[in-house]
Amino acid sequence: MAWGMSFERDAEHDVVTANFTDCILVSDEDVFRWRDEVEAQFAKFNGRVDLLINLNGLIVRHTAGRTFGKVRREVLERNTHRSYRYGGDQMTLMYIGTSGVINGAAVNHFPTREAALAALLAERESLRKRGFTPFLPGVVTSKR
């Protein structure tokens, strides 16, 4: 199969799911290609989103791990409110975990999409119960 990705909105849960096919990151150039294509996918949504990332099909090799960690944090900061992951091979999970510590990026990994979605929805609900709703249209804060 050829390198590919798709980002689809789940309207019921107001979340975007990222799926990858044979995105094998071996070099810095691969990471930058991944970044550019992911950014193009995010552009379809006109703003930051909640994201579920299916790591099956995204492979990070040791030769691209350091760059991937930094780039993934930057991409997620620009394009997401929160992100949760599921699936993936052990090497990719190691780089995601390591980059989470080194670069301050969220790890939030779960075995299935259902578990990742449940955790994301629970975080939203927890914030809602505390009155934290900064991403809703028309919300005005008291800070000046």
What one-letter code names the amino acid at 70? K
Is 17:54 a contact under the CB 8 Å cutoff?
A: yes
pTM higher than 0.85, yes or no?
no
Backbone angles phi, psi at 98, to 5 degrees: -65, -45
Mean pLDDT of 128-137: 64
Q: Domains of the chain: which residue ranges?
A: 4-111
Mean pLDDT of 120-129: 89
Helix residue ranges, H only, the chain: 28-43, 65-79, 90-103, 113-129
Long-range contacts of 8-11 (CB under 8 A, 24+ apart): 9/45, 9/49, 10/52
4-111 placed in CATH 3.30.750: yes
Q: Chain-wide mean pLDDT for the chain?
A: 86
What are the pLDDT digits (tens) for 75-99?
A: 999 999 999 999 988 878 877 777 6
Distance CA 119, CA 52 (A): 10
